[in-house]
Structure 1
Amino acid sequence: MAMEDMRKVKIEQAELKKIAVEALERLGIVTDEAEDVADVLIMADMFGIHTHGVARIMSYGERIEIGGINANPRLELHQTYPTVATLDGDNALGPLLGKRALSRSMKMASEFGVGMVFVRGSNHFGPIMPYSFMAAEQGFMSFIASNATTTIAPYGGTSPKLGNNPLGFGFPNPRGEHFLLDMALSTVARAKIRSARDRGESIPLDWAVDASGVPTSDPSEALAGMLQTIGGHKGYGLALAVDMLAGVLSGAAYLNHVKAWDKQPDQPQNLGHFFLTINTKGLGGEGWLGERMNDFFDIIHDTPAIDDERPVQLPGERELVALRHHLAHGLDYDAHQLNALRAY
């Protein structure tokens, strides 16, 4: 591993996984479960989504140490129908439950064409894109969603009742790049508002509202208030629908029954997730899907761009470019975080 500068080091995927697994094992997690967690978090780093990468292990560890997350869960799978199951996570690490739920969903889809798994008793499970990519690599279309800590008020309201609930889609392309969409339902993440505050800049009025529910351009007031959903009432409706799938139908917590990991770190969040996969291999003959996917991509890519230096792209393309680069050249990783992870 060679030093690039005072802040970054070059590290290969395999070495980063070894460091992550060893850190998780020191937290009391058994090896096979630690490897599942590491697979999800490292894939986030490979996509360039470092806010949800292996650095999360330290925040997970803090909650394990105070009883907020169970390092030795007893997972229970309830098979409701041949194509529907519920996974009771016993307050385990979210990426562990996500990886196990995805695998079960794909196993059902391999046999019956479709498989869906509801997850309860979970925690933060990372970004959705790693799961969608894993499914797409094996020929499965995926729809994945999760509820989250409350940061958004009902449309027209002044009190936070629902989370910035993420959802994602993945469509496999056997002859090219996959389609990978991973999105939360707020206009922007709170991190962008914090960044604007730190720079002393104002924010657009459609980013957030203050504590009384009024749109604000002041980032400090926004951070004390609530996020706004994409598309106003439409995003609000989608956030509710995600919570119905991931929270209500799974048997997990929903709306403001979800505990805030930052305010009540010693309490189980009881987050819920939803995994649906479809086996695309039975939908057409050999080469059928790849030809259609590439034609689909070509039609979009042929759109004249407003800015010639920023050609039209599809969701996931930027992250897949980052993945290829990191596979070929390794990751430029924050040296301080890496050392902290080694010593954790």
Structure 2
Amino acid sequence: MAHKLFTSDELSTFTIKVLEKVGVNAENASLVADTLIQAELRGVESHGVVRLPLYVKRILQGGTKANPCLKKVAEGPATAIIDGDSGMGQIASYHAIKLAMDKARRNGIGAVGVRNSSHFGTAAYYTMVALKEDMIGIALTNSPTVIAPTGGITPLLGNNPWSIAVPAGKYLPIVVDFAISVVARGKIRLAALKNEKIPYGWANDSAGNPTQDPLEALKGAMMPIGGHKGYGMALAIDLLAGVLTGSSFGPWVKNQEDVSSPQNVGHFFVAIDIDKFMPVEDFKNRVDALIERIKSSRLATGCEKIYIPGELEYLCQKERSRKGIPVSQESQQKLSILGKEVGVPFPALS
């Protein structure tokens, strides 16, 4: 289908204006817009502006508060729990990683949980905040159920994305960010939006059979990476992001499409101040040595280069910052409809 290129400023301005039209204050609107545009730039379209219509719908229907009142409900020297007050997950999550970093500066490590939240975008957005201050960032979140336990067909766990970002010296930082399912559920939504088939192995239908139909996949269960190992990872993340934070967990996390109900999603963030363990430059040199060894290793047949996690996203961001962000015709139509509903012309039609 036809794509059109947009600048990040065009998409950001549109997103901010739309959010402000539905009551989100300027600071929160700018933050949420930044998370969506950064996802687009890094090639993670499933977590980009395609999310905006659902975010707006949840605000208008009462499932998400436009301007939540964040509150610390527990705190220790290196730990805290923040109540997200049913706001957009980006708002509480940004405050949480910054608080974790403050605690790490004093204690070497900071861990902050968030309860009563919602979808927070890409996990890497928050771990990369820590990179800016030469810290290691870790982010975990639970999510609505899409993964069945090994041996079952009923989804009882979310795909529970996680990320870790580690600074390097002469090389790009290592940024790992993935969901526990073989692919993010957002990619199946995107395939459904585009009327495209999905590969076998991404998901099963509601009867437990492999399917290429994205609509049937959305009714069934996502396949976890590594089979029983992925199931174990999804469970472990839910124990930290859901059970430990006091949020909902397992099958009790509300679906995002239930737009009139708070999701009560949980997140968990960790910041590590490298300098409390060893000099930062020494650490970066050690990371560089590992990266260099990996990149200089023998290539498999048909491969021209070994990439470090996060490198392809960086290259995509560099290209899209220069050339523009491609937005599919289907997404343009949805955003145009949203713009008309709230009185903000979408750039393609303005």
Q: Could you tell me the TM-score, scaled by structure 2's length? A: 0.87
Task: Report what 1:125 is aligned to.
Answer: 120
Question: Secondary structure in 2 aligned to 1:56?
Answer: helix
Aligned partner of 1:290 in structure 2 is: 284
Q: Alignment partner of 2:151: what SS?
A: coil
Change (3 A) 1:286 1:265: closer
- The answer to which of 17-26 and 122-131 deviates more is 17-26
**1:273 aligns with one of 267, 270, 280:** 267
| Corresponding residue for residue 106 of structure 2 | 111
**Is 1:172 matched with 2:172?**
no
CA offsets, 1:18-71, max 9 Å, x none? Answer: 332222211111122222222222211221212212342221011110101011
Q: TM-score, normalised by structure 1?
A: 0.88
Residues 141, 169 of structure 1: 8 Å contact kept: yes
Q: Once the 2 structures are TM-superposed, how far is the Cα of residue 78 of structure 1 from its aligned partner?
A: 3.2
Query: Which residue in 1 is equivalent to 2:300?
Result: 306
Superposition deviation, residue 230 in structure 1: 1.2
Find the counterpart in structure 1 of residue 345 from structure 2: 343
1:315 equivalent to 2:309? Answer yes
Q: 2:128·2:137 contact (CA, 8 Å) conserved in 1?
A: no
Aligned residue in 1 for 2:78: 83
More displaced, 95-104 or 46-55? 46-55
How far, CA to CA, are the matches of 2:16 and 2:197 in structure 1? 40
Task: Read off the aligned partner of 1:8 and give its amino acid letter.
Answer: K
Report matched runs for 1:63-78 at 5 Å: 63-78=58-73
Q: Deviations over 1:298-343 (max 9, x none)?
A: 1111122224554221211110111222334443445836655543
Query: In the alignment, which residue of structure 2 is the partner of 1:9?
Result: 5
Q: CA RMSD in A?
A: 2.6
Judged with a 3 Å threshold, the aligned counterparts in structure 2 of structure 1 residues 252 and 7 are, in CA distance, closer, same or farther, namely same
User: Which amino acid in the other structure matches residue 60 of structure 1?
Assistant: Y
Distance between the aligned counterparts of 2:189 and 2:89, measured in 1? 26
Report the equivalent of 1:51: 46
Specify the code of the residue in structure 2 equivalent to 1:224: K
Counterpart CA distance in 2 for 1:332 and 1:212 is 36
Q: Alpha-carbon deviations, 1:230-283, whole Å to 9, x = none?
A: 111111111111111011111100011111112x21111000000001011333
Distance 2:17 2:219 in 1: 38
Is the CA contact 1:176–1:290 (under 8 Å) kept in the aligned structure 2?
no
Give me the whole-angstrom Cα distance separating, in 2, the residues matched to 1:312 and 1:256.
39
Q: 5+ residue gaps in structure 1?
A: 1-5
Unaligned runs of 5+ in 2: none
CA spacing shift, 1:87–1:314, aligned 2, 3 Å: same
For 1:3, the equivalent position in structure 2 comes to none
Please list, as runs of the form range in 1=range in 2, the aligned pairs for 1:224-243 lying within 5 A after superposition.
Answer: 224-243=219-238
| Inter-partner Cα distance in structure 1 for 2:197 and 2:6 | 33
Amino acid at match of 1:301: K
Please name the residue that 1:19 is paired with.
14
Correspondence for 1:148:
143
Query: 1:257 matched to which residue of 2?
Result: 252
Q: Is the 8 Å Cα contact of residues 133 and 178 (structure 1) preserved in structure 2?
A: no
What amino acid does structure 1 have at the position aligned with 2:151? Answer: G
Between the aligned partners of 1:271 and 1:200, the Cα distance in structure 2 is: 30
Q: Find the aligned partners of 1:200 and 1:40 in 2 and give their Cα distance.
A: 28
| Alpha carbons of structure 1 residues 207 and 52: separation in structure 2 relative to 1, 3 Å | closer
Secondary structure at the aligned position of 1:162 is classed as coil
**2-side partners of 1:198 and 1:16: how far apart?**
24
CA change 1:17–1:96 in 2 (3 A) is same
